[in-house]
């Protein structure tokens, strides 16, 4: 069990159960889109974010990204970290069929993937803060053709796939994730190999 300083917010109770087996911290549940209309829960999450910090860990499907996006405007971003799981096809063991998009959610991820996602977002694990690598800039994205060009979206999608990041990430979210995972040289090499 790994101790995490920040609290974690996930979509559902099965995600919560999965994480509670891996980490020693409070894990809160959005109950899907329910959190967006629950003023009391949003107020609680704001207080938690200000006091301890909060990690948002949603599925990589459209619903997960919509919940994450809405929460960004409702919570103090200086105390909120965003952990991302990769796009992995399949279905959770408890389900009879795959999700609408055919992707595994948080509950279906391997433990090492979830711990890696927490480390990569800069979570404070066992008293040590992961140092994010932040050498990649918006200018690098522009120079590499990942923003501001006619084929930028297509290029970003190729790089997201090569980096094993969710395909629905916005340019800003992608930049945040890339800053945590790669230094400038590593990222340029990844782009050269995937474009």
Confidence band for 53, pLDDT divided at 50, 70 and 90 = very high
The DSSP annotation for 16-54 comes to HHHHHTTEES-EEE-TGGGGGG-HHHHHHHHHHHHHT-E
In this prediction, residue 97 carries a pLDDT of 81
Query: What is the tally of structural domains in the chain?
Result: 2
Average of pLDDT values for 123-130?
A: 70
CATH number at residue 30: 3.40.1360.10
* Same domain? 125 vs 168: no
Domain boundary among 85, 108, 129: 129
- Domain coverage including residue 167: 138-194
Same domain, 63 and 114: yes
CA distance 16 to 31: 11
177 and 100 both lie in a single domain: no
Same domain as 142, residue 47? no
Mean pLDDT of 182-191: 92
């Amino acid at each position: 069990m790994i101790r995490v300083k920040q609290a974690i917010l996930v979509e559902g109770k099965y995600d919560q159960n999965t994480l509670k087996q891996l980490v020693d911290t409070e894990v809160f549940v959005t109950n899907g889109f329910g959190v967006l209309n629950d003023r009391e829960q949003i107020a609680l999450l704001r207080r938690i974010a200000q006091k301890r910090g909060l990690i948002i860990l949603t599925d990589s499907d459209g619903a997960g990204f919509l919940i994450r996006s809405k929460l960004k405007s409702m919570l103090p971003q200086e105390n909120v970290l965003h952990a991302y799981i990769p796009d992995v096809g399949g279905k959770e063991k408890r389900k009879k069929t795959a999700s609408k998009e055919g992707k595994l959610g948080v509950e279906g991820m391997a433990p090492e993937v979830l711990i890696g996602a927490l480390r990569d977002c800069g979570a404070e694990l066992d008293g040590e803060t992961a140092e994010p690598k932040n050498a990649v800039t918006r200018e690098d994205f522009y120079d590499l053709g990942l923003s501001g060009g006619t084929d930028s979206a297509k290029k970003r999608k190729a790089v997201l796939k090569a980096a094993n990041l969710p395909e629905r990430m916005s340019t800003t979210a992608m930049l945040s994730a890339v800053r945590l995972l790669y230094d400038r040289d590593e990222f340029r090499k990844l782009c050269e190999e995937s474009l």
